[in-house]
């Protein structure tokens, strides 16, 4: 298969996941790894499978990623898989964390699903993991979402460790699963 792993990353979190996915896709396939700014929407139909990665911004995929999803023609020839990184708490664990995730990152996967339906895209799945927040995002989270100092300290110490080795391994497993589904 001819595969494209393209990503939009500001802090490097999404780039780390893109590189892990590309490591797997390049083993037995013709695979390219490209920053989002280095590809045009009209070039997408050259590929059989595209992994599209985004940072989570404003509780959704980054605006440039949404713009390219809008420009995808109906029923494209390629299959699509999505991935994104977010700075909120993972949805596993405390009920409160599930609420944080839904409020601050929950639209990312919904946006992929929306375009899957609107554009009749053969969408193979989505992966997400936590990423270390940039200083302005960390400040926003502390002031707006987690003002309690004890809870903040626990959150930020954990968040700064992501993406970690487990996240990278999970991204690779995701890529392997998508490749199996796309044969």
Residues in the chain with pLDDT < 50?
none
| Beta bridge pairs of residue 2 | 30
Q: Would you state the pLDDT for residue 95?
A: 79
Q: Would you state the pLDDT for residue 152?
A: 93
Per-position b or e across 59-88, b if 16+ CB within 10 A of its CB: bbbbeebbebbeebeeebebbbbbbbbbbb
Q: Would you state the pLDDT for residue 159?
A: 93
**Contact residues for 106 (Cβ-Cβ < 8 A; gap 6+):** 59
Q: Would you state the pLDDT for residue 106?
A: 86
Give the whole-angstrom CA distance, residue 93 versus residue 142. 20
Give the whole-angstrom CA distance, residue 73 versus residue 42. 9
Which fold does the domain 2-132+163-182 belong to in CATH?
A: Rossmann fold (3.40.50)
Helices (H) and strands (E) in the chain, counts: 7, 6
Q: Would you state the pLDDT for residue 147?
A: 92
Q: Which pTM does this prediction carry?
A: 0.93
């Amino acid at each position: 298969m001819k595969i494209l792993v393209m990503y939009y990353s500001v802090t490097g979190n999404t780039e780390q996941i893109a590189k892990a996915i590309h490591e797997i896709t390049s083993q037995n396939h013709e695979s390219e790894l490209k920053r989002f700014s280095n590809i045009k929407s009209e070039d997408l139909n050259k590929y059989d499978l595209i992994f599209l990665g985004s940072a989570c911004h404003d509780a959704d995929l980054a605006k440039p990623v949404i713009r390219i999803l809008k420009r995808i023609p109906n029923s494209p020839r390629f299959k699509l898989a999505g991935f994104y990184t977010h700075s909120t708490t993972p949805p596993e664990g405390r009920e409160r964390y599930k609420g944080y995730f839904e409020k601050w990152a929950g639209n990312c996967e919904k946006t992929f699903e929306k375009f899957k339906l609107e554009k009749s895209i053969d969408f193979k799945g989505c992966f997400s993991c936590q990423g270390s927040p940039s200083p302005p995002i960390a400040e926003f989270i502390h002031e707006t979402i987690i003002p309690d100092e004890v809870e903040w300290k626990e959150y930020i110490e954990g968040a700064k460790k992501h993406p970690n080795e487990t996240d990278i391994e999970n991204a690779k497993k995701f890529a392997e699963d998508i490749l199996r589904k796309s044969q």
